[in-house]
Amino acid sequence: MKAKFLSYEEPLIFEISEEGKCAINLPDFDVPEEDIGKDLKRDDIPDFPEVSETEIVRHFTRLSQLNYCVDKGFYPLGSCTMKYNPKINEKIANLEGFTEIHPLYPEKFVQGSLEIIYTLEKLLCEITGMDSFTTAPLAGAHGELTGMLIIRAYHMSKGEGRKKVLIPDSAHGTNPSSAHLSGWIVEEIPSNQYGTVDIEKLKERVDETVSALMLTNPNTLGIFERDIKQIAEILHSKGALLYMDGANLNALIGIAKVGDMGVDVVHTNLHKTFSTPHGGGGPGSGPVGVKKFLEPFLPVPRVEKKDGKYFLNWEKPNSIGRIGGFYGNFLVLVKALAYIISLGYEGLRETAKRAVLNANYIRKKLEALYHVPYKSPTLHEFVCSDKNFQQFNVTTLDVAKRLIDYGLHPPTIYFPLIVHGALMIEPTETEGKRDLDLFVSAMEEIYREAKENPEVLKNAPHITPVGRLDEVLAAKKLVLRWKRK
Amino acid sequence: MKNIYFPSSEKDVKEMLSEIGISSEDELFSSIPEEFRLKKPLELPPPMDELSLFKHFKDISKKNRTDLIPFIGAGAYPHYIPSVVDYLSSRGEFLTPYTPYQPELSQGTLQVIFEYQTLISNLTGMEVSNASLYDGATATAESALMAWRIKKGEKILVSSTLHPFWRETLKTYLKNFSIEIFEIPYREDGRIDLDKAEKLVDEKTFAIIVQSPNFFGVIENLKEVSDFAKGKNILFLVGVSEAISLGLLKPPGEFGADIVFGEAQSFGLPLSFGGPYLGFISSKMDFVRQMPGRIAGETVDRNGKRGFVLTLSTREQHIRREKATSNICTNQAWCALRATIYLETLGRKGLMKLAKLNFSKATYAKGKIGKIQGIRIRFNSPTFNEFVVEFEKPLEPIYEKLEEEGFIAGFPLSKYYKDLKNSVLLCFTEIHSKEIIDRFVEKIGELI
């Protein structure tokens, strides 16, 4: 085994497995040992590992050390809001009173859990200015699907078989995908030279066949869609609705309420704005807020309160139905509620301010070397193109990979699609000036390297446990599980 | 209250503002029209210090009852979680990264996904698994849609003993596609009635879904269902809600299943009032391009060294947009990590023993309960760790009396199965000692 800076080349667990080992002693049989019979019983579990507890702990500890994470440093993934995840929220979510509760216990035994859901839904209403929230959606895209199904059910209830959903070309890929999954045809709306929705084009396209527009605000360029109210009016005049993707809500909390902007449905990501950890790809949570007239369509069950007692209400004849197994990613809800309560109004407002300040500071510092194609003011994030790097024959991917050598996580790259070679930078509020300056100087240095020594970028990263990986090979020659040689 | 998550000092903030060329943070929001700016503070509870916050939530958590003994499963199973699972999964390196978009910085997460995919494939007897789905209910819907993409059609047959909540979720997802769901009733022995399926199947049918062990805990005859599906040339989908059963039972893959999906909460995830849990999906390799969600694959770096990446991304929403196989983006990666630690800790022998322990406890309880006058075991088919009991007398008063004794006596079935009056689905796992089972059974006997 080779080790470099105490980071190990860790084999797959299957490669260190030896027959007869076990990492836990299970209780003995205190009832007669029963045999289910050979027709039903499996003979063996092929290639299942057998290791000791020491080996398990070292295996996962070493694997963990191959990861970069927010706890380690700056993570400016645009539109992902990789803010610091407060530890007290973890401690709270680990309380036995939350973890040891079966979802099908009678309501009288789970008043605490129901209170959490009820309170969080109410607070999200206050923060966004919507009338009603459901915390059942299990991630952002699941929230989008829920929201679009609500809009579908609304139009159906009016006997209208509208066909289309309009989506700006700057939107995240989940938007068209969620719209499609809800049964709509998707049509793209171009952005104008300011990076916002082209109102004239929108007017031409909105008619009685349009069910909704899915708008991200601030959009994926970090630009606030100033005309949002007018957009809502254009849609409403033809009976269509405005869906807002609230992935970027971190720029607005405590500053403005989307409910005041003509938005009919919004989803928010608790694993972005409300600080719950992303876990390397989930669990997330994507609560959906609606205006009063859409409340009957929210998924069941609803958590309601009567005579001081919380209960689950299933009697919602117009509901879109159930969208998942139980009541959402409950422990994620606990963490988000703890976050909101710990900060309060001033804290949340300050959060948005600092997030926007940090992004604008970086933008200001980098603009000379990194081309920012849309000049409009930006909020919590901004997007550069690869324009200034083309002359050196260096790509956005090269820049991103080189950043790793500076000990930093790269920004989101090649998104949004409307910016060539996009680098989408979102620092969040939980980074200090010192970290921002480190990032800025790394980016400046990389520009200089691109000019003088582009090879060092092309071969980056140099300091990681593995070098740049062959993704084409991975997709061509599929190896998706370990197999005994 | 100070915001302790801001590392910049007041002096830093002033410097940054002056660098930008503005005098106050409010100017940063000039692009938001005045009419939208908040005119009055949000009405939120006052902020709390850490100690008060902890106490506040501890008080709320105490309004949940943790002192009851759950003899209830029905899609969420009480199991013991080995200490290493909590210990290792709470490491910040696992908890606080994003989806592994930059593989060179994410080899830990990616290798874990690769190991997870191997474990799930081997457990279900299938060739390939994805990185995770949200939960068993949404995995049902994703599997049905995957089957529909593979083999176009208009009808899907679904066993009525597929978890009721999964069937409801499936309905929600399929509502806007031209796919009709036909529910196949169960026979007197609690297994799917294939004679009824025979009457419903036609050339427009593209798949059949069964759950095994089914919602009643009954182990289906997968050979029969498979023969039926193959005979009709439709896809054969198997759902699993109690994943521990895979340690004891022949895997669905051995019976020729095309897609195996389900809920893996039993693999190291606490009950947590329903989430976060872990949806899984595995299939034959031929269908991998129709699979939803993330998949990790092995490759090499530029020096030929082994590494892992997310692959087949041309299926996914960020590339394919509305033509993607699913809209899923964030999934349940951290839950899959816990499942991986759990399964590797138990290992081959451990998982098989644990599954047998579950089966033996339930068999013991079933034998004892079956002897009580006034109660009958509803179905005579083999069961895993759950089974249905029917009371001659009204269930409610007995159920409430058992609650007073500290027992949650299973999941009452009449709301979801009209013909199963005064019946409950009971669950027994390794957490129930013989002594506790005896006490529970004795108490039922007294109350009848």
pLDDT, tens digit, for every residue of A302-347? 999 999 999 999 999 999 999 999 999 999 999 999 999 999 999 9
Check whether A3 has a pLDDT greater than 90.
Answer: no
Which of B28, B345, B356 is the closest to A357 by Cβ? B28
Residues B307 and B436 in one domain: no
Selected residue with higher pLDDT from A355 and B322: A355
In a domain, B32, yes or no: no
Is the CB of A45 less than 8 angstroms away from the CB of B135?
no
Q: Does A13 touch chain B (CB under 8 A)?
A: yes
Query: Where does the pLDDT of residue A104 fall: very low under 50, low under 70, confident under 90, or very high at 90 and above?
Result: very high
Q: Chain-wide mean pLDDT for chain A? A: 96
Whether residue A448 contacts residue A377, with contact meaning beta carbons closer than 8 Å, is answered with no
Q: Residue A4's pLDDT is what?
A: 54
Average pLDDT over residues A96-109: 98
Q: Hey, which residues 452-481 in chain A have their CB within 8 Å of chain B?
A: 459, 461, 464-471, 473-475, 478-481
Query: Where does the pLDDT of residue B324 fall: very low under 50, low under 70, confident under 90, or very high at 90 and above?
Result: confident
Average pLDDT over residues B171-195: 96
In a domain, B6, yes or no: no
In a domain, B37, yes or no: no
Number of domains in chain B: 2
What pLDDT, in 10s, does the model give residues A151-191? 999 999 999 889 999 999 999 999 999 999 999 999 999 99
- Using the 3D structure, point to which of B315, B342, B369 is the last residue of a domain: B342
What pLDDT, in 10s, does the model give residues A43-102? 999 999 999 999 999 999 999 999 999 999 999 999 999 999 999 999 999 999 999 999
Q: Residue A1's pLDDT is what?
A: 42
We report the CATH number of the domain holding residue B420 as 3.90.1150.10
Q: Does A280 touch chain B (CB under 8 A)?
A: yes
In a domain, B55, yes or no: no
Residues B316 and B351 in one domain: no
What pLDDT, in 10s, does the model give residues B246-294? 999 999 999 999 999 999 999 999 999 999 999 999 999 999 999 999 9
Average pLDDT over residues B171-198: 97
Residues B134 and B163 in one domain: yes
What pLDDT, in 10s, does the model give residues B158-180? 999 999 999 999 999 999 899 99
Contacts of B98 in chain A (CB under 8 A): 75, 77, 80, 82, 278, 280-281
Candidates A16, A22, A35, A100, partner chain B, best to mutate (most B CBs within 10 A)? A100
Cα atoms found within 13 Å of the Cα of residue B79, Cβ hemisphere only: 27
Q: How far is A338 from chain B (nearest CA, A)?
A: 7
Q: How far is A260 from chain B (nearest CA, A)?
A: 6
Residues B142 and B256 in one domain: yes
In a domain, B210, yes or no: yes
In percent, the amount of chain B with pLDDT more than 70 equals 100
In a domain, B312, yes or no: yes
pTM score, two decimals? 0.98
User: Taking Cα atoms as reference points, which of A414, A407, A428, A339 lies closest to residue A383?
Assistant: A414
Residues B335 and B364 in one domain: no
Residue ranges and CATH numbers for the domains of chain A are 88-342 (3.40.640.10), 350-472 (3.90.1150.10)
In a domain, B217, yes or no: yes
Is the CB of A69 less than 8 angstroms away from the CB of B93?
yes
> What is the residue range of B238's domain?
83-342
Residues B98 and B226 in one domain: yes
Residues B324 and B357 in one domain: no
Residues B73 and B151 in one domain: no
Q: Chain-wide mean pLDDT for chain B? A: 97
- Using the 3D structure, point to which of B286, B319, B342 is the last residue of a domain: B342
Q: Hey, which residues 161-190 in chain A have their CB within 8 Å of chain B?
A: 172-174, 176-183, 186
Residues B336 and B370 in one domain: no
We report the CATH number of the domain holding residue B241 as 3.40.640.10
Check whether B111 has a pLDDT greater than 70.
Answer: yes
In percent, the amount of chain A with pLDDT more than 70 equals 98
Residues B143 and B155 in one domain: yes
Residues B113 and B205 in one domain: yes
Q: Does B32 touch chain A (CB under 8 A)?
A: yes
SS3 track for chain A:
CCEECCEECCCCHHHHCCCCCCCCCCCCCCCCCCCCCCCCECCCCCCCCCCCHHHHHHHHHHHHCCECCCCCCCCCECCCCCCCCCHHHHHHHCCHHHHCCCCCCCHHHEHHHHHHHHHHHHHHHHHHCCCEEECCCCCHHHHHHHHHHHHHHHHHHCCCCCCEEEEECCCCCHHHHHHHHCCCEEEEECECCCCCECHHHHHHHCCCCEEEEEEECCCCCCCCCCCHHHHHHHHHHCCCEEEEEECCHHHCCCCECHHHHCCCEEEECCCCCCCCCCCCCCCCCCCEEECHHHHHHCCCCEEEEECCEEEEECCCCCCCCCCCCCCCCHHHHHHHHHHHHHHHHHHHHHHHHHHHHHHHHHHHHHCCCCCCCCCCCCCCCEEECCHHHHCCCCCHHHHHHHHHHCCCCCCEECCCCCCCCCEEECCCCCCCHHHHHHHHHHHHHHHHHHHHCHHHHHCCCCCCCCCCECHHHHHHCCCCCCCCC
Is the CB of B93 less than 8 angstroms away from the CB of A348?
no
In a domain, B12, yes or no: no
- Using the 3D structure, point to which of B317, B342, B367 is the last residue of a domain: B342
DSSP strand pairing (A241-246 vs B180-184): unpaired
Residues linked to residue B158 through DSSP beta bridges, in sequence order: B183, B209
Check whether B127 has a pLDDT greater than 50.
Answer: yes
User: Taking Cα atoms as reference points, which of A394, A304, A4, A329 lies closest to residue B269?
Assistant: A329
Residues B338 and B379 in one domain: no
